[in-house]
Amino acid sequence: MIQHAFTASRKALTAERFQLENRLYQGCPTIACTKGGKIYAGWYSGGSKEPSLLNYNLLTVSGDGGKNWRELFVLEGCPDQKIQALDIEIFIDPLARLWVCWVQRNWALPRNAPGHLNQWAMICADPDSEEPEFSAPFFLGEGFMRCAPEFLADGRWLFPAYNWMTDNYAFFETADQGEHFSPCSGPKKISTDFDEAMFLETADHEKVMMLARTTCGALAYTESADSGRRWSEPVLRRDLPDPGTRFFWKRLPSGRILMVKNLSPEKRVMMSAMLSEDEGKTWPFVLTLDARETSYPEAALAFDGSIFIVYDRGRCSHKEILLSRITEQEILQGKISDPASFLNRIISKAPEIPALGRWYREAVTLYDNQLISLPLI
């Protein structure tokens, strides 16, 4: 039996290696908004690239609408044991709790071995507290969760968690608000390297839809008429071009569906927010957020109905984490009009030439070079 030992550790941001001026890499952001008006954002950094045994996950918070940010802590792996911590994912559940999820990757095991990819989480019951407290980390299952879950009307929660050990889309299911999780299998995948998928329940609660990343220049689509137990054969949505990166979709209180994605089938450019009024069949309303090369969007609905969207730019070059604040009406209009809205605000930017100490440069070289000879397949 594989033992899923927790070896990552939560640490304060006091060590030199965690400081902004020493970051060689940062990207893959995530975002969540609380009922009390706080905005949480997370991303991962550390090392000189992804993957690196020096990668760590970072959690930050803003109490003023995204103007100022405070870094709370990092979740670091255990490089000496070849354990990498990566891909933080945060969200607010129906009980108003903040979840912080991340992947623990064991490079001492072959890529296809059980225990190579493990999904962990911890929960904050009161994220609006001045000093939020979190539960002890707990194991969700084997896999790689990089997108927020869908909370179904029947009380079940579906957590997308891709797993390259299987030819089928994979996810976790919980029917007791996260007390217990069961691994589930979806339909056979369409060609992909990283099949980030997102579920969305239809407005009449009759079906669960799923879109997923592919390497075919468009998103894959499948649906289930029995709440995720059986799925239709996936098809490519050529009307939803995608360059092989993460996207985001979510139902808004109005009933419309929000989607945020790159519009090009080849490059990670034209980051845009779109709206559908017909359950995702068409997307006539489009607001361009950033025409430059950006990637990995995620959105969260704030307490006042505004939409906050986070994404990255130049993970190893510009090293920017960007935030936009928009409204549903602005997507319908195709332009910014609300005085409180903004596009592409930099909430974190590491220097393009970091101020690394000698010891840190040597550590980066040591641990990053180890991955060259580690088993990848």
Collapse the DSSP code of 372 into the 3-class scheme (helix H, G, I; strand E, B; otherwise coil) and give the result: helix
Return d(Cα 322, Cα 337) in angstroms, integer: 20
For residue 369, being part of any structural domain is answered with yes
Distance of CA 260 to the CA centre of its chain: 13
CB 311 within 8 A of CB 30: no
Amino acid (1-letter code) at residue 132: P
Would you state the pLDDT for residue 376?
Answer: 37
Domain count, the chain: 1
Full residue range of the structural domain in which residue 111 is found? 9-140+302-327+335-373
Residues sharing a CB contact under 8 Å with residue 197, sequence separation 6 or more, in sequence order: 147, 160, 162, 169, 171, 186, 210, 211, 212, 213
Burial class (CB in 10 A: 0-12, 13-18, 19+), 43: buried
pLDDT at 371: 64
How is residue 353 written in tokens?
Answer: 């030439």
Stretches in the chain below the pLDDT threshold 70: 1-4, 356-363, 370-377
pLDDT computed for residue 360 by the predictor: 65
Q: Does 30 fall in a domain?
A: yes
Residue 342 lies in a domain: yes
On whether residue 63 sits in a domain, the answer given is yes
**Within-domain flag for 170:** no
At residue 3, the pLDDT reads: 55
Look at residue 345 and tell me if it is in a domain.
yes
Q: Is residue 312 within 8 Å of 44, Cβ to Cβ? A: no
243 and 267 Cβ atoms separated by less than 8 Å? yes
DSSP letters spanning 235-266: EEEEEEE--SS--EEEE-TTS-EEEEEE--SS
What's the half-sphere exposure (Cβ side, CA atoms, 13 Å) at 246? 24
Separation CA 91–CA 100 (nearest Å): 7
- Radius of gyration from C-alpha coordinates of the chain: 20
β-strands 39-45, 168-174 pairing: unpaired
Under a CB-based contact definition with an 8 Å cutoff, are residues 93 and 178 in contact?
Answer: yes
For residue 124, what pLDDT is reported? 98
CA distance 357 to 50: 21
Would you call 269 helix, strand, or coil by DSSP? coil
Residue 136 lies in a domain: yes
Assess if residue 232 is contained within a domain: no
Taking the C-alpha atoms of residue 6 and residue 281, their distance in angstroms, rounded to an integer, is 43
Contact 368, 47 (CB under 8 A): yes
Query: Hey, what are 52's tokens?
Result: 């690196």
Q: Which of 374, 310, 316, 307 is nearest to 347 (CA)?
A: 310
Give the span between the Cα atoms of 375 and 115, in whole angstroms. Answer: 14
Q: Give pLDDT, residue 166.
A: 80
pLDDT at 357: 63
Q: Which two tokens stand for residue 297?
A: 């969007």
Compute the distance between CA of residue 106 and CA of residue 108 in angstroms, rounded to an integer.
5
